[in-house]
Amino acid sequence: MNCSCSSFHGGGAAIFYIPYGTGTVPLDIPDTQPYDVVNYRMNENDGDESVSLTRIRDTLNRPYGTPPLRELARGKKHAVIMISDGTRLCPSHIILPLLLDELNQGGVHDDAITILIALGMHRQHTPQEMERLVGARVYTRVRVLNHSAAAEDCIYLGTTSAGTPVEINRIAVEADLRIVTGNIEPHAMAGVSGGVKAIIPGIASERCIQHNHSLSMNGRTVPGETDNPVHRDMAEALRFINIDFMLNVIVNHKQHILEAVAGHVVQAHRTAIDKAAARFIVPSQTDYDVTVVSPGGHPKDMQMYQSIKALRNASAITKPGGTILMAAECAEMMGNGTLSLWVETMRDRKRAVDKLKQQFQLGAHKLLHLDDVLSRHTVYLHSSIPRPIVELLGFIPAENLQSAFHLALTNKAVKLAVMPFGSLTYPQVLQKPQSPPK
């Protein structure tokens, strides 16, 4: 089956291999059941690692809004590079060697370089995970550290106009050269990932992240656009801490680099937003009776905390009252202690939602996103999460995806969608043309 287009109409018997963890789950679609594949835009020539390296080198030689990094590095004593954590698709192991070479050319030696994993409030990485994230050679060259969101590990720099206390990792604040990296894709809360997100939430304190993310309650966010309270607040933090250089990439689900942009953290980031939107935002109708979705396999389905993003995207194309089947391994269960606590101890979802609407709670806020989906759709979940926890989340356990699929189809004519990379596919719902009045 060709999945290179954003929407493909299938017919005839087909076994569709749904991404799941590091493997797949087969789904046998009957030959009598037509279906659409709703997917972000892929090309067969999207590239391999050699193409990715060429794109990065070209971008570093022609940054937007700043001199090349090797020039910025001259005379600097300590550089810090912020990188995405293991739940993201950014191929840090590819881009870091080139950044280190640039810094070396500018006179900053390896012993004066720190790589800071911009965890935000995500869990700490083990030494083995850190080595895998940055690559074995980089891991032996420079110091690699987890960010800590604890107040004592951050420095207060000021307060934004929205009231967010800008508290940033001490190591980054004390460095005299700061470089951020990341990948650019639509984001349900900030509108767009990459850019300044490496600072907030990436290397911010818990108090800072909590207040910034609470601003999502104050206005609607359109994925692919930065005009929202959360992103504006993140950008305002640049009044208090300077970012000297940014390298961001647009990648596919295989971490192949499709586009790269470098230079000024705001100006360069802005030039790539439309390119990311053109890839990941796809026109669609909200009229599917049944949608089968996967976050896209590892690392997008490592945790329920991350997998909810794909569920929301599937919800956007599913009819009210329709059914969603999600295959997400979630080997790390919830992926957030606060979310786990609320799921396992709150008496019912309505009480949790009411409390969260009165007082935003980072981590537990994902229950608001879940409630938005579950209030409109029936959701089956195929995962490694134990059955009782699946039920407490509000899902129907689907130990066998094929059996759940047959239950969802019933005997009536069903309009079916398959969304294999739900965390990267953001449907832009099209309004149906209105019939002229009779």
Cβ-count burial 390-404 (b if 16+ within 10 Å, e if not): bebbbbebbeebeeb
Per-residue pLDDT of the chain (438 residues; tens, 9 = 90+): 333 334 444 555 689 999 999 999 999 999 889 999 999 988 766 666 777 788 899 999 999 999 999 999 999 999 999 999 999 999 999 999 999 999 999 999 999 999 999 999 999 999 999 999 999 999 999 999 999 999 999 999 999 999 999 999 999 999 999 999 999 999 989 999 999 999 999 999 999 999 999 999 988 889 999 999 999 999 999 999 999 999 999 999 988 999 999 999 999 999 999 999 999 999 987 789 999 999 999 999 999 999 999 999 999 999 999 999 999 999 999 999 999 999 999 888 889 999 999 999 999 999 999 999 999 999 999 999 999 999 999 999 999 999 999 999 876 778 999 999 999 999 988 765 554 444
At residue 31, the pLDDT reads 87
Nearest to 363 by CA among 312, 304, 425, 314: 304
What's residue 334's pLDDT?
Answer: 96
Point out which residues pair with 10 in neighbouring strands.
35
Per-residue pLDDT at 431: 61
Q: Within 13 Å, how many C-alpha atoms sit on residue 296's CB side?
A: 23
Beta-carbon contacts of 418 under 8 Å, excluding residues fewer than 6 positions away, are 16, 18, 27, 29, 35, 36, 37, 38, 291, 292, 293
Q: Supply the pLDDT for residue 53.
A: 83
C-alpha–C-alpha distance, residues 212 and 301, integer Å: 25
DSSP lists the bridge partners of residue 115 as: 81, 144
d(Cα 25, Cα 411) in Å, to the nearest integer? Answer: 24
- Single-letter residue type at 163: G
CATH architecture of 7-38+285-429: Alpha-Beta Complex (3.90)
Q: Which residues pair with 427 in a beta bridge?
A: 282
Domain extents in the chain: 7-38+285-429, 49-279
CA 116/CA 275 separation, integer angstroms: 27
C-alpha torsion 199→205→208→211, nearest 10: 120
Angstrom distance (rounded) from CA 33 to CA 31: 6
Check residue 216 and report its DSSP letter: G
Structure-token pair, residue 338: 């606060």
Decide if domain 49-279 falls under CATH 3.50.50.60: no
The reply to whether 49-279 shares the fold of 7-38+285-429 is: no
Residue 278: how many CA atoms within 13 Å on its side-chain side? 9
d(CA 380, CA 401) in angstroms, rounded, equals 9
